[in-house]
Structure 1
Amino acid sequence: MGEWRVVPLTAEYVRGMSKCHINCWRESYRGLVPQHVLDAFDVDRRVRSWERIRVDYPGQIVVAVMDDTVIGFASSGPDRDESPAAAYELSAMYVRAAHHGTGVAADLMDAVLPADGATALWVFEENPRAQAFYRKYGFELDGERRVEAFTPAWQVRMLRRA
């Protein structure tokens, strides 16, 4: 582990995680997601949303913290799709660009991926870097596609078998 620590999301980190989430989208999805969508993200709205999720799904979100700043986060739990392809879903995995390749993402994945049980995730189709990262953890494309909720961009599903 590096200079960061991975801890469960608590109320004290919700604002920092919300800022991290917005910054990660702006860093990683420029050119993939329309600029007006990236510009429209509002920290206070994200805080309210993530706080609801934190309360409704305790223990499913972890944050990577360095010097009391959230530099990444991940979330997993039961697969929420109408027709689940797996028992579990990796629903969020974000790390600030300055920390790509440092091991932060590996620590987050270790904290949220179940030791056994199939796991699904959705990733932007036009994001080969993320898809390559997930392949390192045994995820493979399963042929399913859908339009992402906030954008007109396509997502593809990846599965990791039990």
Structure 2
Amino acid sequence: MAACHIACWREAYQGLVPDHVLAAFDPDRGAAAWARIAHEHSGKTALVAEHGDEIIGFTGYGLPDELPAPAERELSAMYVRAPWYGTGLAQALMDSVLELHLSCYLWVFERNPRARAFYTKYGFVPDGTARAERFTTTTEIRMVRPAVEFRP
């Protein structure tokens, strides 16, 4: 997970996140962090995409971290390795975790048009909330997708 996560950051955020931040990611520290996350009972779930024995993408979702919560569910991670861009892998991950009857929110870099366009296809819209991302101070915006009501 750590290797995929670090590679995804370096591939997706080149030019958006300072180079020294991307270069500083340590696979051993990342693996230790993922091991801690795996043993926590945080109400979060990770879904992993593999090709052979390599992790090529993942998503994290579950109970909101924010109070008051802007939605019922938080999409806390959505990462796909660059060689898999445009293959439908991100769509398959998203389709596997979104539940139409639950509202959902996420944070995305404000200057990441590729990701913002992807999330917009799923009904996410900016709600006007912004913050500095904790590692990079790059501005993130919150996007929210309302629940879809089913009527018989």
TM-score by length of 1: 0.86
What does 1:83-122 align with in structure 2 at a 5 Å threshold? 83-122=68-107
Inter-CA distance 161–30: structure 2 relative to 1 (3 Å threshold): same
Asked if the contact 2:44/2:63 (under 8 Å) is kept, the reply is no
Runs of 5+ in structure 2 lacking a partner?
148-152
Q: Write the deviation string for residues 118-159 of structure 1: whole angstroms up to 9, x where unpaired.
A: 100000000011000001111111110000010120000000
Displacement of 1:28 after TM fit? 0.7
Residues matched between the structures, number: 146
What does 1:1-162 align with in structure 2 at a 5 Å threshold? 17-57=1-41, 60-162=45-147
TM-score by length of 2: 0.92
Runs of 5+ in structure 1 lacking a partner?
1-16
SS in 2 for 1:63: strand
Runs of 4+ off more than 3 Å: none
The structure with higher relative contact order (CA 8 Å, sep 6+) is 1
Displacement of 1:32 after TM fit? 0.8
